[in-house]
């Protein structure tokens, strides 16, 4: 099969927001307790934080981490997690039927973020609590001194305010599963009033409201309209969530999942811009995907484990082994977001460690390992910063059980003008056929291939584990390639994620 890519810098989309590479940490399972904080592990630092995870976050330059949930935050009392540890209560976490020990709270997480070289994106409880508790947390974190909450922080040993810039108003408030799910109207009012108070305390605050929590939600569109009727002038971004799974165990079909994501992004933008018209507003609200990933491979095992571990601290929940085909879908989701870098300005891979995560730890032990999905995320973190450039694809299409007209080739490119590089992210979605690809890079003058990284496995279900941590990992392509007057021709293996990096000085 032959395919062609036009990699032309004239087709610039927008600067890629650094926050496309954010991540998510929740008080769920062994994400915080066992992942972030694991004092029994020999690789823990003086505060009990795992050094392997800290290093990974620094290496990938993950700019911001969403905290403390998720569904968890809709029942969370943040004051439980401050002050002397011995006085902190144990509380039932109804979202995940676990026991929250509150050993880690706002201050410890801030210290973790500082050590990891990242920032916190704070989510407030808009479920069981509301405006007053949220503004108290804001004051505790961000007000310098001289008020009740700021002085309380100082009395806890944290003199400097944290200056947390990005605040999320609740989580998945459109979902009936949420602790205290409200109507769009009521949530819209609560969100508006909270946003007002935050901006009065600091006009530079970036506010993210809850949009729809999955493409399958029947309220997609009407939820946004209801919330934005109140909140349009007060929020900066709208958070939507998306997860994929190979429901029907058909790899060729599963590899078309990004088409659903493309449509979901379009729908989110349409809902926002419709309300912009209605409100006759001059402001444009952008999209955040504060939870995106693949999910639920081990659904049944997890349920069983969850039952055994009811109301215990840090049960092992949602510890999926992601497969090679999952890595391709994750790569494709990154491509979808880069293609709309003009409107998708924040995205958190969900989650960072142990729970649905790219990075896994041997809790209490020294080991850690990277899941298959780690690699496309890593490549995007490392090489996906700069200007996103639309990269038109010419190739054959296929139909599958769920999708029609799926291009076998999925691609986007990112031009880092400062570094003088252009990177093409490309997936050959065909499960059977190798692809001969020509990239027309003539607009970049006299480009030269730096490297062609490839993630491929013959077995779509291959995965990594502590015992076999490198079963699936990227390697340098061994297939021949040739540059001819600015056009580079090479081959892409069937079912492969490819990163072609060119210097274009």
- Strand 409-416, strand 487-492: pairing: unpaired
Q: Which residues pair with 47 in a beta bridge?
A: none
Nearer to ligand AHR, 68 or 331 (CB): 68
351 cis-preceded (ω within 30 degrees of 0):
yes
Question: For ligand AHR, which residue of 3, 17, 22, 26 counts as binding (CB under 6 A)?
Answer: 26
The encoded tokens of residue 485 equal: 């007057």
CB of 447 to ligand AHR, least distance (A): 40
Please tell me which residue in 100, 291, 319, 325 is annotated as part of the active site.
291
Nearer to ligand AHR, 69 or 315 (CB): 69
Of 134, 149, 279, nearest in space to 193 by CA:
134
Question: For ligand AHR, which residue of 110, 350, 477, 490 counts as binding (CB under 6 A)?
Answer: 350
Is the Cα dihedral 350, 356, 359, 361 positive or negative?
positive
Nearer to ligand AHR, 102 or 213 (CB): 213
Site for ligand AHR in 68-107 (CB under 6 A): 69-71
Helix %, strand %, coil % of the chain (to 5)? 30, 25, 45
Calpha distance 137→145 (Å, rounded): 14
**Total residues binding ligand AHR (CB under 6 A):** 11
CB of 175 to ligand AHR, least distance (A): 7
Please tell me which residue in 119, 139, 172, 193 is annotated as part of the active site.
172
CB of 352 to ligand AHR, least distance (A): 11
Concatenated DSSP letters for 403-445?
A: -SSEESEEEEEEEETTTTEEEEEEEE--SS--EEEEEE-GGGS
The encoded tokens of residue 290 equal: 């504060």
CB of 360 to ligand AHR, least distance (A): 15
> Residue 372 in contact with residue 474, Cβ under 8 Å?
no
Nearer to ligand AHR, 137 or 242 (CB): 242
CB of 49 to ligand AHR, least distance (A): 21
> Residue 469 in contact with residue 358, Cβ under 8 Å?
no
Ranges of H-type helices in 117-241:
131-142, 148-155, 184-201, 222-231
Instruction: Give catalytic status of residue 291 as yes or no.
Output: yes
Question: For ligand AHR, which residue of 79, 172, 206, 239 counts as binding (CB under 6 A)?
Answer: 172
Ranges of H-type helices in 309-363:
324-339
CB of 172 to ligand AHR, least distance (A): 5
> Residue 328 in contact with residue 244, Cβ under 8 Å?
no
3 state DSSP class of 66 = strand
Nearer to ligand AHR, 253 or 350 (CB): 350
Nearer to ligand AHR, 35 or 460 (CB): 35
> Residue 125 in contact with residue 134, Cβ under 8 Å?
yes
Site for ligand AHR in 379-438 (CB under 6 A): none
Residue number of the CB closest to ligand AHR reads: 70
Site for ligand AHR in 255-294 (CB under 6 A): 291
| Burial class of 56 by CB neighbour count within 10 A (0 to 12, 13 to 18, 19+) | buried
CB of 67 to ligand AHR, least distance (A): 12
What one-character DSSP code corresponds to residue 129?
A: S
Nearer to ligand AHR, 28 or 60 (CB): 28
Per the listing, tokens 């892409």 go with 492
CB of 293 to ligand AHR, least distance (A): 8
Considering the rule CB under 6 A, would residue 491 count as an interface residue with ligand AHR? no
Nearer to ligand AHR, 79 or 302 (CB): 302
Tell me the window of 181-189, 191-199, 270-278, 348-356 that interacts with ligand AHR (CB under 6 A). 348-356
Tell me the window of 65-73, 332-340, 382-390, 457-465 that interacts with ligand AHR (CB under 6 A). 65-73
Tell me the window of 63-71, 378-386, 420-428, 494-502 that interacts with ligand AHR (CB under 6 A). 63-71
> Residue 324 in contact with residue 470, Cβ under 8 Å?
no
DSSP element (H, E) containing 206: strand 206-210
Of 465, 466, 464, 452, nearest in space to 496 by CA:
452
Considering the rule CB under 6 A, would residue 171 count as an interface residue with ligand AHR? yes
Residue 143: Cβ within 10 Å count: 17
Distance of CA 259 to the CA centre of its chain: 18
Q: Which residues pair with 414 in a beta bridge?
A: 388, 423
CB of 285 to ligand AHR, least distance (A): 21
Q: Describe the crossing of helices 184-201 and 131-142 by its angle, rounded to 10 degrees.
A: 30
Nearer to ligand AHR, 69 or 358 (CB): 69
The encoded tokens of residue 334 equal: 């990154």
Contacts of 228 (CB under 8 A, 6+ apart): 188, 209, 238, 271, 272, 275, 279, 285
CB of 311 to ligand AHR, least distance (A): 18
Considering the rule CB under 6 A, would residue 302 count as an interface residue with ligand AHR? no
Nearer to ligand AHR, 28 or 373 (CB): 28
Q: Which residues bind ligand AHR (CB under 6 A)?
A: 26, 28, 69-71, 171-172, 291, 350-351, 356
- The catalytic residues are 172, 291
């Amino acid at each position: 099969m032959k395919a062609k890519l036009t990699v032309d810098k004239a087709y610039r989309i927008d600067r890629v927001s650094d926050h496309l590479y954010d991540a998510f940490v929740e008080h769920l399972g062994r994400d915080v307790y066992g992942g972030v904080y694991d004092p029994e592990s020999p690789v823990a630092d003086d505060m009990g934080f795992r050094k392997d995870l800290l290093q990974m976050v620094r290496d990938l330059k993950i700019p911001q981490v969403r905290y403390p949930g998720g569904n968890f935050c809709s029942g969370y009392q943040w004051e439980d997690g401050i002050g002397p540890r011995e006085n902190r209560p144990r509380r039932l976490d109804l979202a995940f039927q676990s026991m929250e020990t509150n050993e880690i709270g706002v201050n410890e997480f801030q210290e973790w973020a500082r050590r990891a070289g990242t920032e916190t994106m704070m989510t407030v409880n808009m479920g069981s609590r509301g405006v007053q508790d949220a503004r108290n947390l804001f004051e505790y974190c961000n007000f310098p001194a001289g008020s009740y909450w700021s002085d309380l922080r100082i009395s806890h040993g944290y003199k400097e305010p944290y200056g947390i810039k990005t605040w999320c108003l609740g989580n998945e408030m459109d979902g009936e599963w949420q602790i205290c799910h409200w109507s769009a109207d009521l949530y819209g009012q609560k969100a508006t009033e909270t946003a007002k108070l935050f901006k009065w305390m600091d006009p530079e605050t970036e506010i993210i409201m809850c949009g729809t929590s999955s493409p399958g939600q029947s309220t997609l569109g009407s939820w946004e309209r209801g919330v934005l009727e109140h909140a349009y002038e007060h929020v900066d971004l709208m958070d939507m969530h998306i997860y994929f799974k190979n429901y029907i165990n058909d790899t060729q079909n599963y590899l078309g999942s990004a088409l659903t994501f493309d449509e979901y992004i379009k729908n989110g933008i349409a809902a926002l811009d419709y309300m912009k018209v209605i409100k006759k507003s001059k402001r444009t609200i952008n999209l955040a995907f504060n939870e995106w990933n693949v999910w639920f491979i081990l659904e049944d095992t997890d349920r069983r484990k969850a039952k055994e571990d009811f109301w215990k601290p840090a049960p092992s929940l949602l510890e999926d082994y992601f497969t090679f085909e999952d890595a391709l879908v994750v790569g494709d989701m990154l491509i979808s977001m880069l293609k709309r870098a003009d409107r998708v300005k924040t995205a958190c891979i969900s989650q960072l460690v142990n729970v649905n995560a790219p990075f896994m730890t041997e809790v209490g032990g020294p080991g850690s390992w990277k899941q298959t999905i780690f690699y496309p995320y890593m490549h995007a973190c490392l090489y996906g910063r700069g200007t996103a450039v639309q990269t038109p694809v010419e190739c054959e299409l296929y139909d599958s059980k769920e999708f029609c007209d799926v291009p076998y080739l999925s691609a986007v490119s990112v031009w880092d003008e400062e570094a003088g590089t252009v990177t093409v992210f490309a997936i050959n979605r065909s499960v059977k056929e190798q692809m001969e690809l020509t990239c027309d890079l003539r607009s970049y003058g006299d480009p030269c291939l730096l490297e062609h990284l490839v993630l491929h496995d013959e077995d779509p279900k291959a995965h990594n584990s502590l015992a076999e941590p490198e079963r699936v990992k990227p390697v340098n392509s061994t297939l021949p390639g040739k540059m001819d007057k600015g056009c580079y021709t090479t081959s892409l293996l069937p079912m492969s994620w490819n990163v072609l990096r060119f210097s274009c000085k």
